[in-house]
Amino acid sequence: MNCRRARKLLTGVSGAGSGADPELARHLASCAECERFAERWTEVRDGLKGRLTTLTPDAGFAARVTARLGPPADPFVWAARRLVPVTLALTLVLGGWCLLRTPAPSSLADELADGDLLTWVASDEEEQR
């Protein structure tokens, strides 16, 4: 085993993990540099595990947060949440009113197909002459 392979195993970068690899153990016993690296790596890993700033929020933290609160949620989403029922009701009322007042486009189409419309225009012209 060469140093490169040994260090990849030690750092878990090879994906294999170092766990009780006899070949690695033999390499570490015979290579002072890798042994030093292994010690340093263990210190770094332990340091990462223990690296924690322990800080307890004081009694005023929640108040400091609420003092900075803006309008709830994204303003547009919030407004939409509020406006959805109103918009829906208005649409239904207006839609119903329009349906009662105006013939539906489909019924108009039934009454005057393209051919009939041309006939109607032509006959009108004849009358005007």
Instruction: Please give the residue ranges that form the binding site for another protein (CB under 8 A).
Output: 7-8, 11-13, 15, 33, 36-37, 40-41, 43-57, 61-66, 68-74, 77-78, 81
Q: Given the complex with another protein, which of 22 and 71 has the nearer CB atom? A: 71
CB of 92 to another protein, least distance (A): 25
3-state secondary structure of 63: helix
31: contact with Zn ion by CB under 5 A: yes
Which one of 1-9, 49-57, 62-70, 71-79 is the stretch in contact with Zn ion (CB under 5 A)?
1-9
**What are the start-end ranges of the H helices in the chain?**
3-11, 22-30, 32-50, 61-67, 75-101, 105-111, 114-128
Q: Of 20 and 59, which has the nearer Cβ to another protein?
A: 59
d(CA 12, CA 62): 42
Distance separating alpha carbons of residues 95 and 102, to the nearest angstrom: 11
Query: Interface residues with Zn ion (CB under 5 A)?
Result: 3, 31, 34
